[in-house]
Structure 1
């Protein structure tokens, strides 16, 4: 009886010492959802950019500049003598308003009040964050942002909805360099 018990234990141990096998996925998913999303976003971006190009073509009063970041702008007030533009960590003081591309005011300058912002250290929508870096003290620039440079898919949870391209008029009042704020 004892021999039978030891034999069964030995067989049990021998059969349980097996190398682990890789688990196979139950469902194999393709990247079709991601591919569709990419295509939808590309189509949306091209429609918005075509709309912005149409606005630019119809506006003969202003000379628009294309930024490296994918938005367009023109100067209302330009300072040709200043050289200082805000860099990472600098503090800027500015005013701005927000409109849709049809010119309907979403947020007035008075509603938004004067903003004090640490460059790249605080939250601000991407296009405006990059646009401020192009400005000099005292300048006023009007920016045209496609939705992916503005509030994108989510909007701002208040007045700006999903995928809304924006037009903003920004006045940069003051730049305080980071090195002077540390002293």
Structure 2
């Protein structure tokens, strides 16, 4: 009886052992979601830029400048004498308001009050962060930001929703250069 049991165990052991086979996935993903997302974002950016270009083309009063980072702006008050613009670490104070592309005020200057900001060392939305670096003390500049330069997909969790392009009227009050001396 023992011999039969051992023989059966050996047969079962040898017959059940085989090399592992790779399992095939049930669903094959090809990265199509990422491709679709890229296409949606390109279409959204093109629509927003088209709306901004329409605003620019109908505004015959102001001379718009295209930034290297993808937004447009014009000067309401320009300083032609100074060459000092804020750099990394400099402290600036400024006032601004935010509007949608239809000109509806989202945040007023009074609501936002005077902002004190250390260039590139504190949080501020991308377009405004880059726009401040173009300004000189006392200048007033109006920026037109596509949503990817503003609050993007997430908005600001208050008044600015998803993918909203913005107009910001900014007054740069002061620039305080970062101290370069070390103790």
Please tell me whether residue 69 in structure 1 is matched to residue 65 in structure 2.
no
> How many Å apart are 1:28 and its aligned residue?
3.2
Partner Cα distance (2:112, 2:79) in 1 = 24
**Secondary structure of 2:52's aligned partner:** helix
Partner Cα distance (1:150, 1:126) in 2 = 6
The equivalent residue for 2:120 is 120
- Which runs of 5 or more structure 2 residues have no equivalent in the other structure? 1-18
The equivalent residue for 1:100 is 100
- Which runs of 5 or more structure 1 residues have no equivalent in the other structure? 1-18
How many residue pairs are counted as aligned between the two chains?
183
> How many Å apart are 1:29 and its aligned residue?
1.3
> How many Å apart are 1:54 and its aligned residue?
0.5
Partner Cα distance (2:91, 2:131) in 1 = 14
Which runs of at least 4 in structure 1 moved beyond 2 Å after TM superposition?
19-28, 180-183
Partner Cα distance (1:182, 1:32) in 2 = 53
The equivalent residue for 1:43 is 43
Partner Cα distance (1:20, 1:92) in 2 = 65
Deviations, residues 54-94 of structure 1 (Å, cap 9, x unaligned):
00000000000000010000000000011111111111100
**Secondary structure of 2:93's aligned partner:** strand
CA RMSD of aligned residues (A): 2.6
**Secondary structure of 2:56's aligned partner:** helix
| TM-score (structure 2 length as normaliser) | 0.86
**Secondary structure of 2:41's aligned partner:** helix
1:147-162 equivalences under 5 Å are: 147-162=147-162
The equivalent residue for 1:3 is none
| TM-score (structure 1 length as normaliser) | 0.86
